[in-house]
C-alpha cells in the first residue's frame, strides 16, 4: 500500500468518525439537526462508498443496537467492561456515564442513522440511494426478533420509528401495519415485563407513539425532514 493510499484511508476514517460524532452531539440537543447531517453524509457516501462503509462501521461500533445486537456479558466480566461494550462512556478515573446521558447519546445515533435511511439524495445527484428504506425495514424486523432489554429497546424503537415511521408506512402499507400490530400486541408487553417500575421516560414515549399510531392510523413526517432540493 502506497503512502497516498494510507493517507487517504486515514483521512476517510477521520471524516467518517467526525460526521457521526459531531452529528450525534447536535442531534441529541436538537432532533431536527439529523437531516442536514444525513444529507451531507449521503452526498459523500453515494460518491465514496468506502467512506460510507466506515460511517456504518462507526455507527455499529458506537451503538450496537443499530446492528441490531445486544452485547452479551461474558462470565467473570467486570461491570466497567460490560458497560463499555454496551456503549457507556467511562472516563480515565473509571467514572461511568449516567444512564440518561447514555440513552440520550444512543438516541442521537439512532436518529442520525434513521435520517440517513429516509433522507433523499441531493437533487443534483442521480446516484442510487446507498443505504435506503429497505435497511429500515430489515432493522425493524430484526429487532422484533430479539428479546427486549430495559430502557434501551424502548429508546431505540421510539427514535427509529419517529424518524422512519412515515416513510415505512407510505412504502410498505399493509405490511407495516402488520408489524406495528405485532409490536403493540406482542412485543411491547415484553418490553413492559423487563422494565423496572418507575423508570418512565423511554417506555412512556414509545407507548404514547404506538397508541397514537393505532388510534389515527397515521405517522407524521419527522421533525426537520428536508426534500431533495435542500
Q: What letters, b where the CB count within 10 A reaches 16 and e where it falls short, cover 72-103?
A: eeeeeeeeeeebbebbbeeeeeeeebeeeebb
Q: What letters, b where the CB count within 10 A reaches 16 and e where it falls short, cover 149-171?
A: bbbbbbbbbbbbbbbbbbbbbee
Question: What is the rounded CA–CA span in Å between residue 202 and residue 49?
Answer: 34
Q: What pLDDT score does 170 carry?
A: 97
Q: What pLDDT score does 160 carry?
A: 98
Q: What pLDDT score does 24 carry?
A: 87
Q: What pLDDT score does 164 carry?
A: 98
Q: What is the pLDDT of residues 71-90, one digit of tens each?
A: 999 999 999 999 999 999 99
Q: Using pLDDT thresholds of 50, 70 and 90, give the confidence band for residue 4.
A: low
C-alpha triplet 160, 191, 208: angle, nearest 5°:
55
In a domain, 125, yes or no: yes
In a domain, 39, yes or no: yes
What is the value of pTM for the model shown? 0.94
Q: What percent of the chain has pLDDT over 90?
A: 77
Question: What is the rounded CA–CA span in Å between residue 48 and residue 27?
Answer: 24
Question: What is the rounded CA–CA span in Å between residue 45 and residue 129?
Answer: 9
pLDDT at 141 over 90: yes
* Contact yes or no for 40/121 (Cβ under 8 A): no
pLDDT at 45 over 70: yes
* Contact yes or no for 135/54 (Cβ under 8 A): no
In a domain, 32, yes or no: yes
CATH of the domain at 152: 1.25.40.510
For the chain, give the mean pLDDT: 92
**Residue 149: left if φ>0, alpha if ψ -120 to 50, beta else—which one?**
beta
* Contact yes or no for 125/43 (Cβ under 8 A): yes
In a domain, 223, yes or no: no
**In this structure, how many other beta carbons lie within 10 angstroms of the beta carbon of residue 176?**
18
Nearest to 152 by CA among 64, 55, 75: 64
In a domain, 66, yes or no: yes
The arithmetic mean of pLDDT across residues 41-64, rounded, is: 94
Q: Using pLDDT thresholds of 50, 70 and 90, give the confidence band for residue 227.
A: confident
Segments forming the whole domain that contains residue 23: 6-216
**Domain count of the fold of the chain:** 1
In a domain, 55, yes or no: yes
In a domain, 25, yes or no: yes
The arithmetic mean of pLDDT across residues 100-116, rounded, is: 96
The arithmetic mean of pLDDT across residues 164-179, rounded, is: 97
In a domain, 1, yes or no: no
- Assign 224 to helix, strand or coil: coil
pLDDT at 122 over 60: yes
* Residue that wins the pLDDT comparison between 8 and 69: 69
Q: Using pLDDT thresholds of 50, 70 and 90, give the confidence band for residue 230.
A: low
pLDDT at 144 over 50: yes
The arithmetic mean of pLDDT across residues 29-36, rounded, is: 91
Q: Using pLDDT thresholds of 50, 70 and 90, give the confidence band for residue 1.
A: very low
Amino acid at each position: 500500500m502506497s503512502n497516498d493510499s494510507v493517507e487517504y484511508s486515514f483521512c476517510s476514517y477521520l471524516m467518517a468518525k467526525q460526521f457521526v460524532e459531531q452529528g450525534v452531539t447536535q442531534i441529541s440537543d436538537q432532533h431536527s439537526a439529523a437531516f442536514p447531517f444525513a444529507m451531507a453524509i449521503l452526498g459523500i457516501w453515494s460518491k465514496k462508498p468506502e467512506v460510507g462503509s466506515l460511517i456504518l462501521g462507526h455507527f455499529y461500533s458506537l451503538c450496537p443496537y443499530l446492528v441490531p445486537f445486544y452485547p452479551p456479558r461474558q462470565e467473570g466480566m467486570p461491570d466497567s467492561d460490560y458497560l463499555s461494550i454496551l456503549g457507556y462512556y467511562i472516563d480515565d478515573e473509571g467514572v461511568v456515564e449516567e444512564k440518561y446521558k447514555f440513552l440520550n447519546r444512543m438516541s442521537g445515533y439512532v436518529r442520525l442513522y434513521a435520517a440517513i435511511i429516509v433522507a433523499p439524495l441531493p437533487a443534483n445527484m442521480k446516484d442510487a440511494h446507498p443505504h435506503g428504506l429497505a435497511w429500515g425495514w430489515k432493522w425493524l424486523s430484526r429487532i422484533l426478533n430479539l428479546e427486549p432489554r430495559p430502557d434501551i429497546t424502548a429508546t431505540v424503537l421510539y427514535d427509529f420509528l419517529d424518524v422512519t415511521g412515515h416513510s415505512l408506512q407510505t412504502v410498505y402499507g399493509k405490511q407495516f401495519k402488520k408489524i406495528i400490530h405485532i409490536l403493540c400486541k406482542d412485543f411491547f408487553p415484553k418490553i413492559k415485563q423487563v422494565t423496572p417500575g418507575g423508570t418512565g421516560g423511554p417506555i412512556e414515549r414509545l407507548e404514547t407513539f404506538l397508541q397514537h399510531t393505532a388510534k389515527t392510523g397515521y405517522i407524521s413526517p419527522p421533525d426537520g425532514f428536508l426534500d431533495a432540493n435542500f
